[in-house]
Amino acid sequence: MTANTEIRPFRIDIPRAELDDLAERLARTRWAPQLPGDRWRRGVPVDYLRDLTDYWRSGYDWREHEAELNAHPQFTTEIDGQTVHFLHVRSPEPDALPLILTHGWPGSIVEFLDVIGPLSDPRSHGADPATAFDLVIPSLPGFGFSPAPTGAGWNTRRVAVAFAELMARLGYRRYGAQGGDLGAFVSPDLGRVDADHVVGVHVNAATVGFIPFGDVPEDDLATFTDAERQRYERMRRFLSDGNAYFQMQATRPQTLAYGLTDSPVGQLAWIMEKFAEWSHGDGVPEDVIDRNRLLTNATVYWLTGTAGPAANMYYENMHADGWPTPSATPTGVAVFAEDVSIRRYGERLNTITRWTEFDRGGHFAALEAPDLFVDDVRAFFATLR
């Protein structure tokens, strides 16, 4: 049987009944009591979540943000039996470098809305037109408008293989890859599985392949810079006190899926906890990321029912064989203020040609510090065009 390689136009058009259902569920929320102790220490505070939920129900306008998403050309195509949704924003500049941007969890294509214009059309944003990119921004399989895989095995390595096929199907024989969080798994793997075509890989919020595995001996710790020691301690705190979500998603994603798929407030809390913990600020996500952006991201998860399938990618990764192999593809690493990457560990598996450290921005760099994100992506790929 011949594989279906058709690329089909796609437009988001959520039925009114689904938006009404969301509003009704929000209005009927059965609220948990506030536990004692410091705010945020035991999870998302009730008063914070009530306020955000009230705005989601009565102040937030999905249609406005749906239209913003639809302002960018969108498509779907079938690869390896999986429907892949993606934005494809061509630059007005004829010599633009193709670049695939890959989000992570609990993000989505919404993460990149503020950088699409500056990256694809730098001339209109006061920058050198020679830095322009043709952008391909896929929804990871099982996230948002890329529906849940129908079979097992969709780990980030398999996604990289699928995205290599996507870029080939679009006619790109020479391109760059950028990603954060799970995207920082997929993008380096693109440099491995499609090395003949990937000119360079840029990552942020990078972990596996860019951090130590296990405890660091005291002799090595003694050679750490202050910044490296801070990142190492941040990573240790995460492993001891911040990775319960990881363990749940990596071991029992199906059990978790019921609550997140049935309760929009439950799903919102699950997502917002990580925006609070991983963004660079005072612990209130809206102080560093626009409230409407945060809710658009959460609403995409809710309306597509993909909280469970997205969690399942953690299960697939933890139950996959193998470890990343060394890559010769030029790699740039942007280390924002909340990141944990340490160069000496990244160099064991990656050919790092640019390493940049910032004193602001966090895990969601394209949302928190789009100016720094754009400048670093431009600078890294400037020598690879």
pLDDT (0 to 100) of residue 2: 57
Rounded to an integer, the average pLDDT of 45-55 is: 97
- Who contacts 145 (Cβ-Cβ below 8 Å, separation ≥6)? 10, 12, 74, 76, 85, 139, 300, 304
Give residue-wise pLDDT tens across range 60-98. Answer: 999 999 999 999 999 999 999 999 999 999 999 999 999
pLDDT tens for each residue of 293-342: 999 999 999 999 999 999 999 999 999 988 889 999 999 999 999 999 99
CB 336 within 8 A of CB 361: yes
Predicted local distance difference test score (pLDDT) of residue 1: 46
Identify the residue with better confidence: 1 or 157. Answer: 157
Edge-to-edge strands of the sheet including 330-335?
7-10, 74-79, 82-89, 133-138, 97-102, 175-180, 198-204, 330-335, 351-357
Cβ atoms 332, 201 nearer than 8 A = yes
Backbone angles phi, psi at 275, to 5 degrees: -65, -35
Q: Which residues are within 8 A (CB) of 307 and not within 5 positions of it... i.e. 6 or more apart? A: 256, 257, 260, 261, 267, 270, 301
pLDDT in tens, 181-226: 999 999 999 999 999 999 999 999 999 999 998 899 999 999 999 9
Mean pLDDT score, 39-55: 95
Residue from 165, 147, 155, 139 nearest 80 by CA: 165
Question: What tens digit of pLDDT does each residue of 139-188 get?
Answer: 999 999 999 999 999 999 999 999 999 999 999 999 999 999 999 999 99
